[in-house]
Homo-oligomer: A and B are copies of this chain.
Amino acid sequence: MHSIRIVARRTGLSAHVIRIWEKRYRAVEPDRTATNRRLYSESDVERLSLLHAATASGHSIGLIAQLPTAHLRQLLSRSAAVAPAPCSEPPAPETLRNQCVAAIRDLDQHELERLLRGAALQHGTQGVLQKLVAPLATDVGRLWQQGEITAAHEHFASAVIRGFLTDLARPFALTPAAPMLVVGTPAGQIHELGAVIAAAAATAHGWRVTYLGPSLPACELASAALRTESRAVALSVVYPKDDPDLSRELEQLRSYLPARTAIIVGGRAAGAYARVLDRIGARIAVGIEDFYALLDQVRSGDGAPGQPERKPV
């Protein structure tokens, strides 16, 4: 549950506007504390983000404020708002993932996209990332390591999911004053799925993301961050858990970057490099929730790297 200030920051709307939209159009109707403060849920935040994106692209708030959230997503993903698919049966979450894996095995792009789209309508942007895409990415990584699927399958899945997530996050990419973030994987890390997810998550969280893709040397990551005046660099580290080069790369990255630029590292293998990461003052993101929290910290300026955090949270 979030206060109006947090919601304002995350949606890019002013608190005034959020209140007036509630008063005039009942766009959202948040809970209240015992003392009458507004308390917004995660889905309220998403709804307001969608409304913001929609108004920014020209729709008038009076006409769309009452639309169901699913319609808003549709309105944004394509300007063709037609009848929404009436989902009759909610498919079990595990089944859905298995269906996705099956589609990847069959290299069936249409099917995989259909499954992803359906899940996005059901669970929303945040939900589909946490409940489907992230665990699916882990599955794919595991299956590939076990030799159950080939690199072709992995590439295929990356390509389709990447396209889907780009689409998904597009409506959010509008706030002009949003902080910048560079996303990629360091040299030697060839799996980009984690980075793709991070990019989509950050975009949906109100950041402007420069996505650079997999396997980039430290100097290039750094120069991209400088060029875009980024507040942080987010890296995904998945497969080789014991790459000595990677430690060197990370230290170089830290040395190239100004102190105010944070480094956030996520992915299955991030823990294996805890020593280096600690030394360079990087933050480790465990799961998407944690990633969001770290982004908020960095954004609100609590980002002195190289030192232990000042406020224990």
- Are B58 and A5 in contact, CB atoms less than 8 angstroms apart? yes
| A210 at the B interface (CB under 8 A) | yes
Of all chain B residues, the one with the shortest Cβ separation from A156 is B212
In the bound complex, do residue B224 and residue A156 qualify as a contact, i.e. CB atoms below 8 Å apart? yes
A82 contacts partner chain B, Cβ-Cβ < 8 Å? yes
Interface string of A72-84 (1 = CB under 8 A from B): 0000000111100
Assembly CA distance A82 to B5 (angstroms):
19
Q: Is A115 an interface residue (CB 8 A)?
A: no
Known contacts A42-B80, A109-B210, A223-B150; is A155 also within 8 Å of B6 by CB?
no
CB of A3 within 8 Å of the partner chain:
yes
Contact with B along A186-224 (1 / 0, CB 8 A): 000000000000000000000001111110110011011
Residues of A100-138 whose CB lies within 8 A of B = 106-107, 109-110
Give CA–CA (A228, B107) in the complex, Å: 7
A227 interface hit (Cβ, 8 Å) = yes
Interface presence of A163 (CB below 8 A): yes
A211→B58 contact, CB < 8 A? no
Query: What is the bound-complex CA distance between A159 and B6, given in angstroms?
Result: 32
Chain B residues, Cβ within 8 Å of A166? 163, 166
Decide: B42 and A152 in contact? CB cutoff 8 A: no
With A163-B166, A221-B152 given, is the CB distance from A58 to B9 under 8 Å? yes
3 shortest A-B CB distances, which residue pairs?
A152-B220, A155-B213, A163-B166
Chain A residues close to B by CB (< 8 Å): 1-3, 5-6, 9-10, 39, 42, 58-60, 63, 79-82, 106-107, 109-110, 150-152, 155-156, 158-159, 162-163, 166-167, 173, 184, 209-214, 216-217, 220-221, 223-224, 227-228
Q: A150-B220, A156-B213, A162-B162 are in contact. List 18 more A-B contacts (CB 8 A).
A: A1-B63, A3-B60, A6-B79, A42-B82, A107-B224, A107-B227, A107-B228, A151-B216, A152-B184, A152-B220, A152-B224, A155-B212, A155-B213, A156-B210, A156-B224, A158-B213, A159-B212, A162-B163
